[in-house]
Amino acid sequence: MRTAVCPGSFDPITLGHLDIIERASHLFDKVIVLVSFNSSKSKAVFTVNERMEMIQKVVPHLSNVVVDCYSGLLADYLKMTGACAIVKGLRAVSDFEYEFQMALANKKLFNGAETVFLTTRGENMYLSSSLVKEIASFGGDISDFVSDEVHDFIYERLTKKSLE
């Protein structure tokens, strides 16, 4: 059984993330969407549990996808679970240098960690969790960027937060 891990902050999950997860689910027997920690990012807006719940709400149509979280190194998670690949989406050339560095570091830490890059769909090239947070915090329309199942939760949280 070939298992892949789709890691990310998912703060919150966007339609761009979901597209990569869906495509990975067609390529692998099992996909673990892993809420992980990016030490270079400032504090997340959503808790780990909220992020996991949001992911669970948008993947029920994908029977081979499960959701998990891990606070350690991604390479160790792969070792622990026997997953054979890390799947990441590449939006633009600007993503590449950072992603390439992480792929090399993960491979160095654990030789079994292969990174598979999927190119994003054209319509998601500009999309990011930060953009969703920015737009929603000003009361803008995020319905083209996040799934209906999580839209209200994200929108209410972010617009309320901006009023605090």
Question: Of 44, 73, 90, 131, which lies in the binding site for ligand PNS, with binding defined by CB under 6 A?
Answer: 73
Question: Of 44, 66, 84, 102, which lies in the binding site for ligand PNS, with binding defined by CB under 6 A?
Answer: 102
Can residue 105 be called a binding residue for ligand PNS (CB under 6 A)? Answer: yes
Active site residues: 17, 41, 91, 129
Question: Of 2, 38, 160, 161, which lies in the binding site for ligand PNS, with binding defined by CB under 6 A?
Answer: 38
- Tokens 């920015």 belong to which residue? 134
Compute the least distance from the CB of residue 70 to ligand PNS, in Å: 7
**Closer CB to ligand PNS, 36 or 124, in the complex:** 36
